[in-house]
Amino acid sequence: MAIEGGKGRLRLGVVTSEHDTANTVRAAFEQGGKGKRVEIRADERITTDVGCVIVDVASHVDSDRISSLTGSEEVPPVVALTDGTVDETKLVNAGVTDIIPTAHFEEHGSMVARRLETYATAHQHAQSEGQRSATNGTSRSHPENISELLADTASELKRDREFLYSFHDIILAPEATFDEQVSSLLELCCEVLGFDSGLLSRVSDNDYEIRASHALGEHIAVGDVFDLEETYCKRVVESASVEWFLDASETAPDHATYRELTQESFLGIPVWVGSDLYGTLCLVSDTGREKPPSGPELTLVNLVADWVGNELLRKQRQRELKTMTNRISSLIDATPLAIIAVDRQRVVTEWNTGAEEMFGYLASEVIGERYPLVPDEKLDRSERILERSLDGECLSGVTIARETKDGEIRNIRLSTIPIREADGSIDEVYAIMDDVTERWRFEEKLKALQMTTRRLSLAADAEEIIQLTVNAATDVLGHPLTAFWQYEKSADKLQPTVSSVAAQQQVPRLPTFEPGDGRLWDVFAESGYILYEDLSTVDDRYEGIRSGLAVAVGEYGVLGTGTPVASEYDEQDLELVQILTSATEAALIRADREQHLRETNERLDEFASVVAHDLRTPLTAAVAYTDIAHETGADKHFEEIEAAHSRMSTLIEDLLTLARNTDRTIDQETVSLDTLIEDAWTGLSTGGETLDADSLGTITCDRSQLRRVFENLFRNALEHGRAETITVERLADGGFAVSDDGRGFGKSPPEGLFKRGHLSSNGGIGFGLTIVNDIVAAHGWSVEAMTATNGGARFEVHCEPSDSGDSVTGN
């Protein structure tokens, strides 16, 4: 077998009857050394030109064969592989250098490979030194008799035994730190191998850092960093194997370390952490050495290097494990989910912060106690779930019920993870619990809102729609303090129109909002929403209400809710209210369209009635009087024809007014009532009448629309009431009244006086008062008909206060 890599080529001899043994050795070298290339070939000359001989005792190689290999000074170290069935005393008597169990190749392959490489390297160095001595005319001393040989062997065994005792005591010292242990091991190596000082280095790129030391002197300290190129250990790093020299004055006289520190002898061994080269362990002396370190000596130093590497690896894995454990612990504590661990005895072993918040029990109350959450009626099902998990089944999304410390039953979505031990057994189960109670309630509310949406789609008018909305906010969404502020376009205000019983009791007089008046108006103007954490800090008009939630309902108004508790609402509450208000807005839009359609149909009916009746009657009269006029030539018949035409013109004008004002727009301005009344009266005066216009002040209105009101009221008094005197006066609320001394209404005004198509006493269908009512309503006012004190008709228009004045009487 040949191993190539590092500084050179090593050849190992393997004595075995099984080819698999050679493959096992090769695998160990390929695992343990970077850059190593291993080659296997049959070679009978295993005792020549090899660094180490490996004998597979387990394949029945007898001790005589081993003795034949170890009986010459030229033979390299012999290492025996055993499966434990061979008497190791016989192997030692046969002269083997080391005994390695075959199982170690599988468990610690890289470590065994480095040990074998150390033997081979030591032998090759010894061979080189021997050849150098022969060249110089010297020879190695050999024991001349068996007594000397036995004495040397006994001395080496005693040394090794004492080393191992000391090594054992150092690595098991309970109070010692790692650095203290390494320093003690370096001291031990120096004593046993005869060196002055030692150190452990960490090599990273070209940096050479002193990690631990023994007797380095004042010029070098732990933590110092040097250039690797200027150290003896560069040779160890390059070869990735053991390196030494006996006399630097001959081997490396120009080396920087020798020039500065005059260190004559050196022994360096690589320290591996897993498969990575960590650094070096080296021993130095200020004096030279006569002979190279023996195989057993290198084994002892290699043992120390292996322990250091394994300890560093263990610490590294401990750090990684601690980091991973901390991450998992942080994740478990940070997650809002409840994570609980239970063992086979149903005792709680883990209880995270999420479990504390979800169920109300502190970890200190439940860890070490039996699992406390299962309601009595759910015990059987809980046991079945736990048994399935302990049998190795991972459960996911199982819906269960659990009881909190306060006795509340929560709906939980459960997943479980069985925890397997190294032997595959399961003694513990982790349960991950997600509280879905609120989610279920949210879904139930969504279903109820769907039913509300159906009811809203069937509601007859805006009043019913708003009432259904307030009821849904109260009963379905659970907001008992709820009110609806409806926008009145004519007044440009938000008026509280519908409120829940609890809201009426809590705030008997809800405020009205005008432009710029408070946050509720802003919500409406911006078609948005607002969440109040503490309403009392921004508006003192809501007695006893702290949290508030208001959402605009399109152009129709605002839905508002409140509670006596601060910070009560969350995003889920807002989402549900927005769903409700969206449905309400859609229902109100539908109701408006249906109302508009009904009004349109009514106008069509009115047009049909007018065409069929009122227009036909004066038209028939005009035709009849025309025929009479042709026959008689009398002028009075032409006057009747003109009156019929005038009647048809008035009807057509009223019809056009009704048709054009389906969606009446009011363009308000401040006008003089005196001027407005005079304009309206002038158009109707038929001769001899006068208008006595004392000061009536001003009024805010649509000029042309209000003129039409006065024209229609004047015409009604003149044409239907046969009045001689019409009086206009201001009312206390800023409105006005128009009264006459005509025939009046009798005992009381007829029912439906202002409705479209009202049948007058002369049998005609009138629209004048209908137009008056529409214009007044568009202004946000109201009109009322009554009998005047003189028996005539009186119409009062009520509006907001304005300037007042005297009455005007026209004769």
Q: Give the SS3 label for residue 139.
A: coil
Residues 680, 800: one domain? yes
Asked if residue 694 lies in contact with residue 666, where contact means CB atoms within 8 angstroms, the answer is no
Q: How many domains does the chain have?
A: 5
Q: Which of 370-379, 414-423, 785-794 has the lowest mean pLDDT?
A: 370-379
**Which one of 110-124, 155-169, 455-469, 604-618 scores highest in mean pLDDT?**
455-469
What does the pLDDT look like over 10-35, one tens digit per residue?
A: 677 787 767 677 777 777 776 655 45
Final residue of a structural domain among 319, 345, 362: 319
User: Tell me: the pLDDT tens digits for 605-659?
Assistant: 766 665 665 566 667 777 777 888 777 877 777 777 777 777 677 667 766 666 6
- Same domain? For 309 and 396 the reply is no
Q: What is the CA radius of gyration of the chain?
A: 56
Q: Look at the block and give the residue holding tokens 């605009």.
A: 552
In this structure, the answer to whether residues 521 and 667 fall within a common structural domain is no
Asked whether residue 303 falls in the same domain as residue 353, the answer is: no
Phi, psi of 752 (to 5 degrees): 75, 25
Q: Transcribe 656-717 into DSSP letters.
A: HHHHHTTT-----EEEEHHHHHHHHHHTT--SS--EE-----EEEE-HHHHHHHHHHHHHII
157 plus 306 within the same structural domain: yes
| Same-domain status, 394 and 459 | no
* DSSP character at residue 140: -
Better-predicted residue by pLDDT, 139 or 754: 754
Asked whether residue 604 is domain-assigned, the answer is no
Please determine, for residue 43, whether its predicted confidence score (pLDDT) is greater than 60.
Answer: no
pLDDT at 122 over 90: no
Is the pLDDT confidence value at 109 over 90?
no
Averaged confidence pLDDT in the chain: 81
pLDDT-based confidence at 137, cuts 50/70/90? very low
Q: How confident is the model at residue 550 (pLDDT cuts 50, 70, 90)?
A: very high
DSSP 8-state assignment for residue 800: S
Q: What is the pLDDT of residues 249-286, one digit of tens each?
A: 777 777 877 777 778 899 999 999 988 999 999 999 98
Residue 311: what pLDDT? 94
Split at pLDDT 50, 70, 90, the class of 100 is confident
> Confidence class of residue 740 from pLDDT cuts 50, 70 and 90?
confident
CATH number at residue 383: 3.30.450.20
454 and 359, same domain (yes or no): no
Q: Alpha carbon 247 to chain centroid distance?
A: 68
Residue 22 contacts residue 61 (beta carbons within 8 Å): no
Position 103 pLDDT exceeds 80: no
Percent residues over pLDDT 70 in the chain:
80
Q: How far apart are the first and last CA of the chain?
A: 141
Domain boundary among 319, 350, 367: 319
Compute the distance between CA of residue 230 and CA of residue 233 in angstroms, rounded to an integer.
Answer: 9
- The residues, ordered by sequence, that sit 6+ positions from 624 with a Cβ below 8 Å of its Cβ are none
CA distances from 23 to 16, 38, 117 (A): 11, 10, 16
- pLDDT exceeds 80 at position 682: no
Q: In three state form, how does the secondary structure of 265-325 look?
A: EEEEEEEEECCEEEEEEEEEECCCCCCCCCHHHHHHHHHHHHHHHHHHHHHHHHHHHHHHH
Pairing of strands 78-82, 98-101: parallel
For 442-476, write each residue's pLDDT tens digit. Answer: 888 999 999 999 999 999 899 999 999 999 999 99
Q: What is the pLDDT of residue 269?
A: 94
Whether the Cβ atoms of residue 532 and residue 549 lie closer than 8 Å to each other:
yes
- Examine the pLDDT at 500 and tell me if it is beyond 80: yes
Q: For residue 490, what pLDDT is reported?
A: 80
Report in angstroms the alpha-carbon separations of 730 from 253, 475, 680, 694, 768.
127, 48, 17, 11, 22
Determine, yes or no, domain membership for 636: no
pLDDT at 5 over 60: no
Q: How far is CA 614 from the centre of its chain?
A: 73
757-763: long-range contacts, CB 8 A cutoff, minimum separation 24: 757/605, 757/606, 757/609, 757/610, 760/720, 761/720, 762/720
* Same domain, residue pair 196 and 290: yes
Residue 630 lies inside a defined structural domain of this protein: no
> Is the domain of 97 the same as that of 227?
no
Mark whether 536 and 555 lie in a shared domain.
yes
Q: Which residue has the tokens 């250039």?
A: 227
- CA separation (Å) from 764 to 137, 610, 720, 758? 155, 9, 11, 8
pLDDT of residue 496 exceeding 80: yes
pLDDT at 658: 60
CA-nearest of 576, 552, 551, 583 to 453 is: 583
Q: Give me the mean pLDDT over the 488-511 stretch.
A: 90
The predicted pLDDT at position 810 comes to: 42
Residue 625 lies in a domain: no
**Looking at the structure, do residues 303 and 361 belong to the same domain, yes or no?**
no
Residues 119 and 170 both lie in one domain: no
On whether the CB atoms of residues 163 and 192 are closer than 8 A, the answer is yes
Considering the domain boundaries, does residue 653 fall inside one?
Answer: no
**Is the residue at 617 inside a domain?**
no
Cα–Cα distance, 766 to 561 (Å, whole number)? 47
Average pLDDT of the segment spanning 493-500: 93
- Give the orientation angle of helix 437-458 with respect to helix 462-475, to 10 degrees: 170
What local confidence, expressed as pLDDT, does residue 46 receive?
52
Percent of the chain with pLDDT over 90: 36
The verdict on residue 678 lying in a domain is: yes
Q: What would the pLDDT profile of 691-707 be if each residue is shown by its tens digit?
A: 555 678 899 999 988 98
Q: Which helix (H) or strand (E) holds 533?
A: none
What is the domain range of residue 347? Answer: 336-435
Instruction: Please report, for residues 210, 475, 501, 547, 575, the alpha-carbon distance to residue 479 in angstroms, rounded to integers and kept in the order given.
Output: 73, 7, 12, 11, 14
Q: Which of 319, 350, 369 is the last residue of a domain?
A: 319
pLDDT tens, position by position, 771-807? 888 889 888 899 999 988 888 899 999 986 444 444 4
Residue 241, token pair as written in the block: 């194997």
Query: What pLDDT sits at residue 695?
Result: 76
Pair 557, 531: CB distance under 8 Å: no
Q: With contact defined as beta carbons under 8 Å apart, do 3 and 9 qualify?
A: yes
> What is the 3-state secondary structure of 58-79?
HHCCCHHHHHHHHCCCCCCCEE
Interacting residues of 416 by C-beta distance below 8 A, sequence separation 6+:
385, 389, 393, 394, 395, 398, 429, 430, 431, 432
pLDDT at 741: 86
pLDDT at 340: 94
User: Tens digit of pLDDT for each residue in 713-731?
Assistant: 988 888 777 778 888 988 8
Classify residue 627: in a domain, yes or no: no
Q: Which of 723, 731, 690, 720 is nearest to 792 (CA)?
A: 723
What CATH number has the domain bearing residue 667? 3.30.565.10
**239: Cα within 13 Å, side-chain hemisphere:** 21
CATH number of the CATH domain containing 531:
3.30.450.40
pLDDT class of 662 with cuts at 50, 70, 90:
low
Give CA–CA dist 269/206, Å, rounded: 18
Q: What is the pLDDT at residue 295?
A: 80
On the question of pLDDT at 370 being above 60, the answer is yes
DSSP letter for 220, please: -
